[in-house]
Structure 1
Amino acid sequence: MSAATIQDHGASGGRPTPGHGLPRIDYRGPAGAPALYSPDSVAWHIFKNPVALFVGGITAVLLELGEPRVRSGVWDHSIFPTQPLRRLQRTGYVTHASVYAPADVAERVIRAVNRMHDKVEGITPDGRSYRANDPVLLDWVQCTVGFGFMEAYSAYCRPLSMEEKDRSYREAEPVATLFQAHGAPRSVADQQRQFAAMAPLLEPPPIIGNFLDIMAKTPGVPAPLRPFQAMMIRAAVALLPDWARALLELDGPQWRLRRWDGLVVRRLGALFERLPIPKTPPVEASLRLGLPANFLYRGRKG
């Protein structure tokens, strides 16, 4: 159960920093080594864009924090409340490894994450027991992650067709299985059914305000994007379904995405669709597979 499914694509100089017990990754080698996702996958395009990563990650975490057992696992067993930047870097490391690293390296990283999650368990404030590797909770986290990043990319970077969205969920199945989320969505319809099933279990936690305040103050995006971080947070809130925004008490005017904000975030997302960031996992992985450094940045037809 990740403490913050927000990826840092620049706070550590572009290359995500490994956490304790996780290996450093050479995304450039060995030459030709395939990743868990193919270069023409939807994921390779989504996770290259720091706007989609930051916005979509916040959306996903807001949904995760609404589930009491996930929330306790996140807040009580994580360094995020006290060392948010380090936690963002670590989570970014795991996500980029899952998408772009050589497959054998990615599998080792995922196994290490699973072992760490095996140790996370406890009791919620209202007396419910939880385990981070509870299949129901793993499925919910995978569902929120798929929804957050994909919808952020589609809304603010490049619109995705329904076929592409369904394909994104299908492509993620092997990785979701490695993370032990065997019931993760396989389509948009699956995702909507999981939202409907989980909605009665969600509640508005007071720590959501703490989380958003931390995100506003933590440099979780590349330096050129930091002046726009507050409007990107509002863009993340705007991605929530209406029922979730109301339930989490995020429908007030301070969280409303103004028309100008939305236009700016979309312009930024479009810019990073065309702007390769040297020495980052998407660029290095493309080079490893004999593709141009700008392979993911040349435009793409659905």
Structure 2
Amino acid sequence: MGARAQQDYGFFGPDSVTWKVWGYPTSIVLGFLRAVVIEELDPHLVASVDQSGQVKQRPKLRYDRTMQYFATVKFGDAESVLRASDTLMKIHARAVGDDPVTGGRYDANDPASQLWIHLTAWHSILYTYEIFGPGRLTAAEEAQYWEECARAAEFQTIDPADVPRTREGVRAYFAAYRPRLVGSEVAQSMMNFLLDASTVVVPDDVPRPARFVFNAVVRRGVIATMPRWMRKLGDTRQSRTTDRVATAIIRPVVRTISAFPRLELALLRRASPRTAPILEPVLRGVPPVHPVVREPVEARAQYGVTDPREQYAAIQAERARQAGPVPYPKHHHEELLPFPA
């Protein structure tokens, strides 16, 4: 059965660096796991994840749903992206509560929290692409990548003006955010759980020896990409020798997969069945019905979808009147809520 053509190229398209980097095999497991593991050091985010309880209860479903959302934003057509963004916005509107570590209040739609998740994901996907894949982008490609990162921010509550446009800017952002990070018991427990790729990613019918080997290598590969101070904070230390060995094992495997799109698609179908149909037209080179890249403002007007920042402002106004969406109870059951919620 052939891949279903999208209606358009969405907001990036085949000439984008986003397609080049996010479509590379490193994004599926290594980049994704690095992002969600590091994100847990934000006490507001980990409080939300812990109080939801769904990551540990249904890790594979949550991985599949989150990958589906990420893939939709990068590779889906314009209407699919806007509908997914609008749905996630509404789901996150109820993900508010108290953070027991800082004593503050978390809000999954808060722009600062969203920016942390957004930049951690885009940086992790690029960094694992560089370490295990083809290497550094050209200066022009990297500049384009961060511009596209800012465009993707438009589908969240983030002000695109707050998104750094250079690697130096991204490093400065992380340095400024570092004092907010906390290696609490909850954060370390969640990081250790998410580093178990066999629990989060590998299908249950894979033989146990294969699951053990896969997890042993991937876990060490992800940790190898984390700075020393972050490993100490998350209690995920390992030696430089282990870093080098894990990298040496993973790099040729990833590059082999990248040379065979059908193999990449087959593996993706196993790891994330909801994501495969979104990436299949891209990997198979199936053009959309209308081969054009869309603009967010024009697409929102066509499909009648409100800008997330406008939606958030309206929600905040409702909360000020003691109204608005009712917060989720602890350990709620919400299948559409992805990892970074």
Please indicate the TM-score interval, normalised by the length of the shorter structure: 0.7 to 0.9
* Cα separation, partners in 2 of 1:49 and 1:221, compared to 1, 3 Å: farther
Structure 2 unaligned blocks of 5 or more? 266-275, 290-341
Secondary structure of the residue that 1:218 maps to in structure 2?
A: helix
Corresponding residue of 1:175? 152
Q: Which amino acid aligns with 1:76?
A: Q
- Conservation of the 8 A alpha-carbon contact between 2:63 and 2:200: no
Task: Identify which of structures 1 and 2 has the higher relative contact order when contacts are C-alpha pairs closer than 8 Å and 6+ apart.
Answer: 2
Match of 1:204 among 174, 183, 190: 183
* Cα separation, partners in 2 of 1:289 and 1:237, compared to 1, 3 Å: same
The whole-number CA distance in structure 2 between the counterparts of 1:105 and 1:267 is: 35
The correspondence of residues 226-237 of structure 1 with structure 2, limited to 5 A, is 226=211, 227-237=213-223
Per-residue Cα deviation, 1:6-64 (whole angstroms, up to 9, x for no partner) = xxxxxxxxxxxxxxxxxxxx972245x12211212222122223433311122212221
Matched, 1:268 2:253: yes
Secondary structure of the residue that 2:97 maps to in structure 1?
A: strand
| Of 151-160 and 178-187, the range deviating more from structure 2 | 178-187
Per-residue Cα deviation, 1:105-131 (whole angstroms, up to 9, x for no partner) = 111111111111111100011321111
The whole-number CA distance in structure 2 between the counterparts of 1:166 and 1:74 is: 33
Secondary structure of the residue that 2:237 maps to in structure 1?
A: coil
The correspondence of residues 261-300 of structure 1 with structure 2, limited to 5 A, is 261-277=246-262, 278=265, 280-285=277-282, 286-289=285-288
Between Structure 1 and Structure 2, the one with more helix by share is: 2
| Of 135-144 and 209-218, the range deviating more from structure 2 | 209-218
Q: Which amino acid aligns with 2:192?
A: L
- Conservation of the 8 A alpha-carbon contact between 1:27 and 1:100: no
Corresponding residue of 1:87? 62
Match of 1:251 among 232, 237, 257: 237
Kindly, what percent of the aligned residue pairs are identical?
22
The whole-number CA distance in structure 2 between the counterparts of 1:53 and 1:30 is: 21
Corresponding residue of 2:306? none
Corresponding residue of 2:23? 48
Secondary structure of the residue that 1:142 maps to in structure 2?
A: helix
Matched, 1:137 2:118: no
TM-score of the pair, normalised by structure 2: 0.70
The correspondence of residues 33-72 of structure 1 with structure 2, limited to 5 A, is 33-72=8-47
Structure 1 unaligned blocks of 5 or more? 1-25, 291-302
* Cα separation, partners in 2 of 1:116 and 1:206, compared to 1, 3 Å: same
Q: Displacement of 1:166 after TM fit?
A: 3.0
Q: Which amino acid aligns with 2:253?
A: L
- Conservation of the 8 A alpha-carbon contact between 1:85 and 1:219: yes
Q: Displacement of 1:236 after TM fit?
A: 1.2
Q: Which amino acid aligns with 2:287?
A: R
The correspondence of residues 142-157 of structure 1 with structure 2, limited to 5 A, is 142-157=118-133
The whole-number CA distance in structure 2 between the counterparts of 1:243 and 1:162 is: 28
Query: What is the Cα-based RMSD across aligned positions, in Å?
Result: 2.6
* Cα separation, partners in 2 of 1:246 and 1:30, compared to 1, 3 Å: closer
TM-score of the pair, normalised by structure 1: 0.78
Q: Displacement of 1:197 after TM fit?
A: 0.8
Matched positions, count: 263
| Of 273-282 and 153-162, the range deviating more from structure 2 | 273-282
Secondary structure of the residue that 1:288 maps to in structure 2?
A: coil
The whole-number CA distance in structure 2 between the counterparts of 1:161 and 1:282 is: 22
Corresponding residue of 2:198? 217
| Of 141-150 and 57-66, the range deviating more from structure 2 | 57-66
Q: Displacement of 1:81 after TM fit?
A: 1.1
- Conservation of the 8 A alpha-carbon contact between 1:139 and 1:181: yes
The whole-number CA distance in structure 1 between the counterparts of 2:6 and 2:231 is: 45
- Conservation of the 8 A alpha-carbon contact between 2:30 and 2:221: yes
